Structures are given as C-alpha cells and as structure tokens.
Structure 1
Amino acid sequence: MKNIRHSLYLFLALSFVLLSGCTKYDFVETGRANGNHNTTMWEYFKSDPYNWSLLVRLSSRIGLQDVFEGKSSYGKEITFLGITNHSISRYLLKKYAEDHSEDELNRLKQEKQDALFDILADDLDANEAKAFILSSIIPKRAITLEEFKLGSFIEQNGVQERTGGENYTMASGKVLWLYTFKDAYAGVPGAGRLHLYIVSSDTKKKSEIASHNIRTTTGIVHSLQYSFTLGDF
C-alpha cells in the first residue's frame, strides 16, 4: 500500500509542477485579475477552462448551475470563494490513491490520459462534491474585498487567537471566519496591500485568497490560491 501511495503522490507532485508551470502570473501572484465581467458567474467560469473547467463539470453533474446563474434559493447574487482546477485535481488524485490499487491507476492513466481528471471528477460522490462547493458560497450577498472586516490571527502552541473579522454561515451550513489584514509598507504598519484570509471552524486551517473582486452579474468571486486543497475548510 505504501508503494501504491508513493507512486500516486509522485504523480500528483509532477502533475502539480506541470500545471503550475502554466500559471497565469497576474491571477496568482498579484491578487489582480480581469475584474469585471458582464456575464453571469457561470458564463465567467465557462470562459476560463484553465481555472474552472472541473468546477463547471462537477456543478453541472450535481445540479448547481442555477446557483451561479442567480436562479437558486441562495440568491440572485452570491460571494464565491473560488476553488480552481488545481485545488480540485489535487484532492481527486489523493482520494484515488487511497481507494484504488496501483493496477487500477495504471490502467486508468493508459486508457484515459487526456481525460484523467474528468473521469475522477465524475466518480466523486455527489454529496461530497456538493458540500465542497456550497461550503465556498456566502449566499445572498456580493461582498467586495474592502467590505470584509479587518482582523488578526495568531497561533502559538496550537492555541489560536482571533480578533476582528467576521463569521459567515456558508450555503452548506459550515461557518467560516474571514478577515482582512494590511501589510506594512515603507515601514508603516497597515499601509500596504490588503489580504483576505479564511479560517475554518472545523479544520482550524488558514487559507488565503489569491485574486479578489472578480465581478459578475450574479456576484463576486474571490479565488483561492492554487495551493488550496478541497477539505482545507
């Protein structure tokens, strides 16, 4: 079993390196993206398959398209903490390593090389996929980066100290604590770039947003870093 997992984790690492080599620099590093889209969030996702094709595939299969089109009970506008292809594919590979044999993996890789992640996405349990996506949605509100509350997060010896920020109940019912923090600039505290962070009430993990204020006609997307993995909150 260790050999099986080692082989797949090596494959995962190589896949991630290859994907990262194609990263769009402004999307990941600067926090800037093409911020205004005169389309629904769903159409925006479909227009950028590099980042969102697996999200579109999962949402279509489990009936969540209407959420991103502003047609669901979650509201005409939502705030979405965007889980990109990198995050989804990393989780799918890890899950496959835990549930299948090395022979099954090799056969899948040989037969479905170009569609590997599509196959794995289609095999993901519908309830699990739904929980991941709904846990990334703040319903009935389109919140910009600047509207989130300033806060601070310190963890020492396993003890977390939080100030400011705000708790949000996501569409899944999960509670996430979000806060913003400003870097120092030229030696002046709070004069630098504004960051947005998420801390899970379940996993206690902290995640950072990579790109902010991607505006659509049905809400705002704040895209998580490519290093985020499903299940981190």
Structure 2
Amino acid sequence: MKKIYNIFVCISAAIFLSSCTAQDWYDSGVSSPYHDCSIMEYLRKDTYNWELTVKLIERAGLTDMFEGKDSNYKEITFFAPPSYTILRHLWNNGMESVDEMSIKDCKAIVLRHVLNKKYLKADFAYRNVDYMIDDELQDGGTDVETLGGSHLRIYRDKSAYGGVPDLGPETMYIYSFTKATMVPLATPDIQPLNGVVHALNYNYDLGRI
C-alpha cells in the first residue's frame, strides 16, 4: 500500500508542477482565504497537501503552537512546506516515515518556517527594483527572523498590465540570507484563526530557509 501511495503522490506532484505557475495553488476546497479553525485544524483537513506537514509538527511537539494554545504564540506566520516536499526529504535521506526523523531535527525544521506574529502579504514592503534583493544597497523588502533563527527578506513586486507599469497583480517572494537562496512560494495569505499560512511550492526543498 505504501508503494502505491508513493507512486500516486509522485504522479500527482508531477501533474501539479506541470500545471502551475509561480504563485498558483489549485485546491478543490473553498476559495476564501479565511478559515474558521486553527492553523493545525486547517492543515489536518487537507490531507492531500498537508498530511506529512501535520506529522512533522506533531513529531516536533509543536501542536499547541499551531492550535493557538501556546500563550506565548497566540498568532503565528507559517511558511508551510507541503507534504511532497517532506516526502522528498525523507527519500533523499533514506527514510520512509517522519517517525524516523529525530524530534530535535523536526522541531528545528518547523521553527525555521515560523514567525512569532501574523504577517500578511500586505505587511511586507516592496522591493527597490533598482537593486538585487540581496544587494547591500537594497532598501526595500522586510527583514524578519524565524523562531528557528533563519534571516529572511520578504518582499512584494508589482507587475505591468496592458503595458501600464504597476497595474498588474502583486507577487510575494522570500529570500533566505541564511541559506542564500530564493524560496518558491505558492499561495500567500491563507488565514485560519490563529495566524496566517503562506504555502510554499512543491518545488521547495527543506533546508532552503
């Protein structure tokens, strides 16, 4: 059964990747970004995208934080790695289950994806387009540090529409100074009751934040 599941996930991920662009997340659920439940409940409801993400959080001993029950973290921001990202990490390290990962490693991984308050896309500054995002002269974007100690710069870019600058859709990007990598984002601003989830793309590899 496990082999069949793994094959199914691979095929599904391939279809997903071939049909999506940078920040498209095709979900058969409700299109509203608001969810009348905790972040943990939201993740548990969508086993297709988040089953292994839930197991990673549980293995890390951080369930209370994601359920809004930790008095130190009433609201959080979660840059959420999807199940396929975690499955690929397991395969690349010769493992088949999240239970084979150490609790310490699971906690470190999860906390590198969490901010200690709620940040919506609109809370992040625009990039100064005159400079690369990691240029020392870059005065745009918003620098944050995750609970796991990763230094990120989150920023928005405007786009043109019909040949008119800045009238097109806005996109959000993540750059990790800690790993010197861009982090692929799928869908921002998913809003359960105790914070916000910014879903990372299936292309994302654990360790790039």
Aligned to 1:213: 189
Aligned to 1:121: 98
Aligned to 2:42: 44
Alignment of 1:56-205 (within 5 A): 56-72=54-70, 74-96=72-94, 119-139=96-116, 141-152=117-128, 160-161=134-135, 162-205=138-181
CA separation of 1:21 and 1:34: change in aligned 2, threshold 3 A: farther
SS, match of residue 178 in structure 1: strand
Q: Conserved in 2, the CA contact under 8 Å of 1:165 and 1:178?
A: yes
Q: Which moved more, 1:40-49 or 1:187-196?
A: 187-196
Identity %: 29
Query: Does structure 1 residue 21 correspond to structure 2 residue 15?
Result: yes
> In structure 1, what is the Cα distance between the partners aligned to 2:10 and 2:128?
31
Q: Which runs of 5+ in 1 are unaligned?
A: 1-11, 97-116
Query: RMSD of aligned C-alpha atoms?
Result: 2.8
> In structure 2, what is the Cα distance between the partners aligned to 1:26 and 1:74?
37
SS, match of residue 37 in structure 1: coil
Q: CA deviation at 1:229?
A: 0.9
Q: Which moved more, 1:179-188 or 1:48-57?
A: 179-188
Which one has a larger percent strand, Structure 1 or Structure 2? 1
Q: Conserved in 2, the CA contact under 8 Å of 1:51 and 1:85?
A: yes
Q: CA deviation at 1:218?
A: 0.7
CA separation of 1:138 and 1:94: change in aligned 2, threshold 3 A: same
Q: Conserved in 1, the CA contact under 8 Å of 2:36 and 2:193?
A: yes
> In structure 2, what is the Cα distance between the partners aligned to 1:176 and 1:35?
24
> In structure 1, what is the Cα distance between the partners aligned to 2:109 and 2:185?
17
> In structure 1, what is the Cα distance between the partners aligned to 2:170 and 2:107?
31
Per-residue Cα deviation, 1:59-101 (whole angstroms, up to 9, x for no partner): 11221101111122551111111111121111111121xxxxx
Count of residues paired in the alignment: 196
CA separation of 1:27 and 1:39: change in aligned 2, threshold 3 A: farther
Q: Conserved in 1, the CA contact under 8 Å of 2:125 and 2:141?
A: yes
TM, length-normalised to structure 2 = 0.82
> In structure 2, what is the Cα distance between the partners aligned to 1:29 and 1:127?
31
SS, match of residue 177 in structure 1: strand
TM, length-normalised to structure 1 = 0.74
